[in-house]
Amino acid sequence: EVPSLYKEYEDYFLMGAAVNPLTIKSQKELIIKHFNSLTAENEMKFESLQPEEGTFTFDQADQLLSFANDYGKKVRGHTLVWHNQTPDWVFTNKNGNSVDRYTLLERMKTHISTVMERYKGQIYSWDVVNEAVSDSGANLLRDSKWKDIVGEDFIDKAFEYAHLADPNASLFYNDYNESNPEKREKIYSLTKGLVERGVPIHGIGLQAHWNLYSPTLDHIRTAIERYASLGLQIHITEMDVSVFGSDDKRTDVKVPTEEMVAKQTDRYNSFFELLREYSDVITSVTFWGAADDYTWLDNFPVRGRKNWPLLFNEHHQPKGSFWKVINR
């Protein structure tokens, strides 16, 4: 009998998975058994919830919520303000020109409050702002329409609107390459500024799209300690462990080699050893998917290249990594 992942981790943190309308059917049993927190992979993004101004389409998000309610799962909200998967209308007026700061802030507020009020009390944490920090170079923030039109304080505003809409939800800043030293310091200084200005932020989300070689355990540890030093909670929000290194663009690998699998198992083992050490600050760990039959990495960074980044295989059976993760 395979033990339940989330039950094995009850003393540490929530164990979540990103799901979508297809996987809550095709992976239903697996999801119910192993995960106690669910994130919508795409269905709560701006383009999904408000494809046109004032037209809110909640059907798929509602279906996820009702699935979660039926099976007693918590839900993480993802995501309110992001440069991707946000429709052009948000930044454009009727003449096709850019809107002004005031209009964009109104639209941001309307979106955040409509969405968060609808799901008030049903979503324990929200990724309020996603991926705003630049990966390299001198600028703290990446260029985006949010930043260009509103200014750098678009982040403060998003958190303020979110806190007004659902004062009980914990509010997160979420990003990738979060353990890279250069980006880590930018994320740190951004969130430190928010805390110092009294902006209602409660946590930092580490996406944790990791692979066989990167990031190093030391870099992950330093990132966790640095972020935790701000007195914020930490969530691992989108974990997966690619069997390819960062620069490996091969497309001819049809099954992972034994070496890849062994390395992945070893990485998962050390990652969770480390995460357990920090279970006082890490309150939730979410995988970006449940089993290897469906992963966004099949189309990223190389379209159509299969990957095997999760704890369960294509037949929903536990991999060696699973046994390491629960074998504390």
Catalytic residues: 131, 238
Residues 63-122 contacting ligand XIL, CB under 6 A? none
Say if CB 325 and CB 311 are below 8 A apart: yes
23 touching ligand XIL, by CB under 6 A: no
179 touching ligand XIL, by CB under 6 A: no
Closer to ligand XIL by Cβ: residue 41 or 156: 41
Min. distance of Cβ 301 from ligand XIL in angstroms?
11
DSSP summary character for residue 123: -
Return the SS3 of 77: strand
Return the SS3 of 124: coil
Say if CB 184 and CB 234 are below 8 A apart: no
First and final C-alpha spacing in the chain: 18
Site mask for ligand XIL (CB under 6 A), range 255-294, x = bound: ----------------------------------------
Q: Which residue is nearest to ligand XIL (CB)?
A: 296
Instruction: Figure out which of the listed residues 4, 42, 92, 313 binds ligand XIL, where binding follows CB under 6 A.
Output: 42
Evaluate the CA torsion angle 278, 281, 283, 289 in order and state its sign: negative
Residues 224-253 contacting ligand XIL, CB under 6 A? 238
Burial of 250 per CB tally in 10 Å (0-12, 13-18, 19+):
exposed
Q: Residues in contact with ligand XIL, total (CB under 6 A)?
A: 7
Min. distance of Cβ 130 from ligand XIL in angstroms?
5
Min. distance of Cβ 49 from ligand XIL in angstroms?
13
Closer to ligand XIL by Cβ: residue 238 or 292: 238
Instruction: Figure out which of the listed residues 48, 50, 86, 130 binds ligand XIL, where binding follows CB under 6 A.
Output: 130
Min. distance of Cβ 41 from ligand XIL in angstroms?
5
41 touching ligand XIL, by CB under 6 A: yes
Q: Token pair of 284, please? A: 């939730």
Instruction: Figure out which of the listed residues 266, 296, 302, 323 binds ligand XIL, where binding follows CB under 6 A.
Output: 296
Min. distance of Cβ 88 from ligand XIL in angstroms?
17
Closer to ligand XIL by Cβ: residue 130 or 170: 130
Min. distance of Cβ 207 from ligand XIL in angstroms?
6
- Round to whole Å and give the CA distance between 201 and 110: 19
Could you give the C-alpha distances from 287 to 141, 146, 204, 222, 269, in angstroms and in order?
Answer: 26, 28, 16, 21, 15
Say if CB 16 and CB 37 are below 8 A apart: yes
Closer to ligand XIL by Cβ: residue 4 or 42: 42
Burial of 124 per CB tally in 10 Å (0-12, 13-18, 19+):
middle
Cα angle 83-134-197, degrees, rounded to a multiple of 5 = 85
Total residue count of the chain as it appears in this document: 328
Point out which residues bind ligand XIL (CB under 6 A). 41-42, 130, 176, 207, 238, 296
